[in-house]
Copies of this chain bind each other. A is one copy, B any other.
């Protein structure tokens, strides 16, 4: 089983993947971008990929949503994981915070640690890196003794850094929801979710809570009440929406697609009926999969 993640080694994606209960059976494949991670599942380069889809501070991870919507039709969501995001301040060797002149960081990491940086390192210049692991690698390669980085404890070990401070994120509850991507039935996927012959069908007698993710849009999406008619298909059947997200359809300002997460499996009749009802209003409805809720 080849499992893809956003590299290089030492990112939060890597850390989340190593903590997966099935991690020992995986051959890990580091991919360069989230776009590439989604396409690697589509092409069969990997059997599955663990990708971030939303963060409790920063919201949606748009490259994943856009790749699912625009680039592939056979990539489905087969599971999810919640992963706490705890940033460390790292440096090549022990140093007083007062001696740090430069902090290398991915912009999302420095955003999540903005208060810490302002209060503990008011004089330091923040330099942009392509990922948290790239930041730590660059700090590790700096021999001057005045450069630090924000990243994972794992990255510190990989790139020869020590942890100066841990849990420097402004919100200790900071967490990211990751989803497992696989290929849909009938498209040559070698992956099946545990205990299920079909990613969208749950095993009989299963008591796990399930979720279903879908994308929809419609030519009538700008008409009064169109979105309400779409969502009413779920509300009227008691189906709970856990998330709604809009993204541009790349057809100009004002044209959107909608990502829905809802409680229940497509195998539930209320969910299936609601999705059938939605198809009457929407130009496109694509079910991204039903999977056990984290």
Contact = CB atoms under 8 A, between A and B. Distances in A.
Nearest to A106: B128
Contacts of A177: 253
Contact of A254 (B232, B242, B254): B242
Interface in A14-63: 54-59, 62
Interface residues of A, number: 43
Contact of A256 (B228, B234, B243, B247): B243
Interface string A189-225: 0000000000000000000000000000000001111
A135 to B, nearest CB: 12
A231 interface: yes
Given A231-B231, A232-B228, A56 B253 contact: yes
Q: Is the interface of A mostly helix, strand, loop or mixed?
A: mixed
A74 interface: no
Interface centre among A55, A175, A241 (most CB of B within 10 A): A241
Contact of A224 (B58, B235, B253): B235
Given A82-B253, A232-B232, 18 more contacts: A54-B248, A56-B250, A57-B248, A58-B62, A58-B248, A59-B62, A59-B247, A128-B128, A177-B253, A224-B240, A224-B241, A227-B244, A228-B235, A229-B235, A231-B231, A244-B244, A244-B246, A245-B246
